[in-house]
Amino acid sequence: MSQSLLLVGAGGLAREVLAAARAVPGEFTVRGLLDDDPARHGSDVDGVPVLGPSDLVHEHTDDQVLVCVASPGRPEGRANVVRRLDLPAERYATLVHPAASVAHGVELGAGTVLLAGAVITAPQRVGAHVLAMPHVLFTHDDLVGDFATCAGRATLAGGVVVAESAYLGAGSLVRQGVRIGSRAVIGMGAVVLADVPDGETWVGVPAKPLIPS
């Protein structure tokens, strides 16, 4: 029997997560989407209705939940939604696309989503509410913290630490042993060769702090 699932957020990421859920036959049935924008209520996303605001998760107590919110402009956005909803961990699903490759012994936290082509090469702990978009690569001994977002083709060499709510842009590369700080943002295509402090945005090859204009 499939598990009924609610997606919080009705934007592009929700469409990707919906497609991933549909790619796992018999495991999930997406009942609906929840979004705090009233203009979306009553509409549908790829055939699934937008039922109302996110607080409806407290009424649909038999449904599991995934929070589909991610933005480099607000790297802590998903964490803020999860903390506001204040659900127990067991209410959150963990979704792995069948085209992802996850080594035996990997532990995935509640609410984590791995999209198609994501690869985790060796046993490690991946935090809660982590988002790995298509073709993300985690190699040996990485430590990916809660609420981290890794956009498509982001790559971690061995022993990388990604702290809570960090955002790694599409195609970014992180050298072995480097730490990406909490709420740090790594630009698209950046090559990170040194530790990135909490809350900073680094861009370029090699990556350097972005100086506000």
Is the model's pLDDT at 1 over the cut of 90? no
CA distance 196 to 183: 10
Q: Which active-site residues does the annotation give?
A: 140
**Cβ(174)–Cβ(195) under 8 Å?**
no
**211 pLDDT tier (thresholds 50, 70, 90):** confident
Q: What is the pLDDT of residue 160?
A: 98
Confidence of residue 2 (pLDDT cuts 50, 70, 90): confident
109-162 pLDDT per residue, tens: 999 999 999 999 999 999 999 999 999 999 999 999 999 999 999 999 999 999
Closest CA to 148 of 79, 195, 89, 201: 79
Lookup result for tokens 């984590």:
112
pLDDT(27) > 70: yes
Mean pLDDT of 187-194: 98
Do 114 and 102 form a contact (C-beta atoms < 8 A)?
yes
Dmax over CA atoms of the chain, in Å, equals 55
Task: Convert the pLDDT of each residue in 32-69 to its tens digit.
Answer: 999 999 999 999 999 999 999 999 999 999 999 999 99
How many helical (H) and strand (E) elements, i.e. helices and strands, does the chain have? 2, 24
Does the pLDDT at position 25 exceed 90?
no
Q: How confident is the model at residue 213 (pLDDT cuts 50, 70, 90)?
A: low
Residue type, 6: L
Mean residue pLDDT of the chain comes to 97
